[in-house]
Amino acid sequence: MNHKELIGAVAARLDMPEDYVSRLLEVAVDTMSAQLCEGNQVGVQGFGTLEVRRKEERISVNPATQVRTLVPPKLVVNFKQSNVLKDKLKGLPHE
Amino acid sequence: MNHKELIGAVAARLDMPEDYVSRLLEVAVDTMSAQLCEGNQVGVQGFGTLEVRRKEERISVNPATQVRTLVPPKLVVNFKQSNVLKDKLKGLPHE
**Superfamily assignment of A41-95 in CATH?**
IHF-like DNA-binding proteins (4.10.520.10)
C-alpha dihedral sign at A2, A84, A51, B63: negative
Instruction: Please tell me the distance in Å from A2's CA to the nearest CA on chain B.
Output: 5
- Summarize pLDDT for A20-30 with one digit per residue, the tens: 999 999 999 99
Assess contact for B19 and A24: CB atoms under 8 A.
no
Say yes or no to pLDDT of B41 above 90: yes
Band (pLDDT 50/70/90 cuts) for residue B94 is: low
Q: What is the DSSP string of A27-92?
A: HHHHHHHHHHHTT--EEETTTEEEEEEEEPPEEEE-TTT--EEEEPPEEEEEEEE-HHHHHHHTTS
CA nearest B39 in A: which residue?
A92
Subunit contact A25:B23, Cβ cutoff 8 A: no
Architecture of domain B3-89: Irregular (4.10)
Cβ within 8 Å, pair B42-A92: no
- Determine contact: A23 vs chain B, CB below 8 A: yes
What pLDDT, on the 0 to 100 scale, is given for residue A55?
87
Task: Please answer whether residues A71 and A60 qualify as being in contact, where contact means their C-beta atoms are separated by less than 8 angstroms.
Answer: yes
**A39 pLDDT band (50/70/90 cuts)?**
confident
Query: How confident is the prediction for chain B on average, in pLDDT?
Result: 90
Looking at residue A95, what is its pLDDT?
57
Least confident of A74-83, B62-71, B83-92: B83-92
Q: What's the mean pLDDT when you consider all of chain A?
A: 90
